Amino acid sequence: MARSGTARRVTRAATVPEKIPIRLTVNGSQMELTVAPWTTLLDALRDHLDLTGTKKGCDHGQCGACTVLVDGRRINSCLTLAVMKEGAEITTIEGLARDGELHPLQQAFIDQDAFQCGYCTSGQICSAAGLIAEGKARTPDEIRELMSGNICRCGAYPNIVAAILQAMERS
């Protein structure tokens, strides 16, 4: 979209910034890629590494669809620059299953019918994996509060909470 401030700001950049080579461990595999400084981790995963399981909803930290685990912690990949995560270990929805077996959370989301359109689901599951690792949520109220960073426009919330409770009981 044409905006008054944009053209002037673009001319302020003295030289076109160079792309930067980085290394990431994604779902256990070493990856080498070359990205522009402003490439988000989300775009690096989807557009450079073809890992499209991680979704782009709002691109502004407001929906949680882009949630991935970085060094075991859940974050929004849309507000993270890939270059800032050089050397980090990233886990996406594609990396949760082990030896052809679904992750307990993936199984629980199926068992509890915890999605409708499915757009928020990979973010919900990665976020829930982070939640379980944190070990702070015990009650449904606590799960709801600590999962509030994941919006579900289909409103599958009761089933999502049930799925997380199921996975927590079995882990």
Partner 1 sequence: MTPFQYARANDVADAIKQIATDPSAKFIAGGTNLIDLIKYDVEGPTRLIDISHLPLRSVEPTAAGGVLIGAMVPNTDLAYHPLIEQRYPLLARAIMSGASQQLRNMASTGGNLVQRTRCFYFYDTTTPCNKREPGSGCSAIDGVNRINAILGTSEACIATHPSDMCVALAALEAAVHVAGPAGTRTIALADFHRLPGNTPQRDTNLEPDEIITAIELPSKGFSANYSYLKIRDRLSYAFALVSVAAALELDGDTIKDARLALGGVAHKPWRSSAAETVLRGERADASAFARAADILLHGAKGYGHNNFKIGLARRAIMRTLGQAARGTPQSNSDKKIR
Ligand X SMILES: Cc1cc2nc3c(=O)[nH]c(=O)nc-3n(C[C@H](O)[C@H](O)[C@H](O)COP(=O)(O)OP(=O)(O)OC[C@H]3O[C@@H](n4cnc5c(N)ncnc54)[C@H](O)[C@@H]3O)c2cc1C
Site of interaction with ligand FES (CB under 6 A): 56-59, 61-66, 76, 78, 115-121, 152-154, 156
Q: Work out the end-to-end distance of the chain between its first and last CA atoms, rounded to an integer number of angstroms.
A: 48
Choose the contact partner of 115 out of ligand X, ligand FES, partner 1, none; CB within 5 to 8 A by kind.
ligand FES
Comparison of 27 and 122: residue with beta carbon closer to ligand FES:
122
Q: How far apart are CA 142 and CA 133, in angstroms?
A: 14
148 touches ligand X by CB under 6 A: no
Q: Looking only at residues 17 through 76 of this chain, which bind ligand X when binding is defined by CB under 6 A?
A: 61-62
For 122, the enclosing helix (H) or strand (E) is: helix 121-134
Q: How far apart are CA 135 and CA 147, in angstroms?
A: 13
Comparison of 73 and 138: residue with beta carbon closer to ligand FES:
73
Comparison of 136 and 170: residue with beta carbon closer to partner 1:
136
149 touches partner 1 by CB under 8 A: yes
Classified as helix, coil or strand, 166 is helix
What is the DSSP track for 55-112? Answer: --SSSSSSS-TTEEEETTEEEEGGGSBGGGGTT-EEE-GGGS-BTTB--HHHHHHHHT
| β-pairing verdict for 20-26 and 89-91 | parallel
Q: Looking only at residues 103 through 142 of this chain, which bind ligand X when binding is defined by CB under 6 A?
A: none
For residue 27, give both structure tokens: 């779902």
Comparison of 111 and 119: residue with beta carbon closer to partner 1:
119
146 touches partner 1 by CB under 8 A: yes
User: Residues interacting with partner 1, by CB under 8 A?
Assistant: 3-6, 9-10, 12-14, 16-18, 20, 36-38, 40, 59-61, 64, 67, 73-76, 79-81, 83-84, 127, 130-131, 134, 136, 139, 141-142, 144-150
